Structure 1
């Protein structure tokens, strides 16, 4: 009798324990699955607010006040002066690009950096005569002498009429020291008797004049021929005021 009672009890207990375990397993499995499904995706954030999320790329515009100022890299349509303003600094290359062909030419003749000749407008006027042959008493492109060359340049460059001969120009000019020489000043030489030759000082100990042997040319004051015959320098007062 007892056996008949025990066997059904054992069966009931076994069934009860199995039914209790199944829901627990199911719930556990569902919990794990939910955790996997609801796991948030990591968001990777890069510079300039570029976000990568779920295989997509999104960008956020950077506020204008945070953007670095840039200078156009293209030279097209931008002058040298404009590029210098944009960079806010002196650009030697830009300076060179802004000079004229005449200034480039005289940078070689005067043995100077070309940017040091920027704004030296006298060069345009003397260059009109460069290479003109020498002719005593001449006053034109067909031939010209030293004092007529000075007279022509002063008239075109400064609007001034100076005396005709080298001796008269020497007397007319205010005498200055060689250390005071500036472009446009006159330099005088004794190539014959007294003041017999004149030239226009440029820079770097160089002057331009109508040479008997070479015509209008640039020479060095320290060449032995001219150094031995150098008499002094003079400045035309009105021309001095115009250069300032």
Structure 2
């Protein structure tokens, strides 16, 4: 009788132990499945992030990252004549095609209908960092305004001037920022003598290109 009772108790104990083990295993499996599901969802979320939220490298557009000093010096000397002519022909009022007598030339260039048009063409070559210098009689080497409007038409002064016997070149970089570089302006006479003009000319990186900047005289 006792043996039967003990066998019954032992059987019940083993049964309960088996159920508990199965229950614990089931819970453990559920936890594993749950963690895997969370991990999978996390990966899916990461993949589905919009592109604009992802970190993107910022392109360095500074002059030093775009050009070497040697390339800048070469570019400047290649464009020196155009820089000079544009700057001083504006000063002299001889830049545009025109007609009539010297000193009272009617501009016939199809682009020009106002003084604003004259300025707009200037800024195709020069940076907008600097105000136009040619209309300022304190800056203009001829001490006169080179362009004016009269009766709905635009005129230019048409001064004739020039230099003989010297050539000019940029010798070296004097200073440089992220978007502007300055060059020392030198001259060479017919005898081969080289001298510093005491001027610095700048180029400005603007609108994705190098534009002419300004001219500064060291003794000013």
TM bucket (normalised to shorter chain) is under 0.3
Q: Which has the higher contact order (CA 8 A, sep 6+)?
A: 2
Question: TM-score scaled by structure 1?
Answer: 0.25
More helix by share: 1
More strand by share: 2
In terms of Rg, which structure is larger? 1
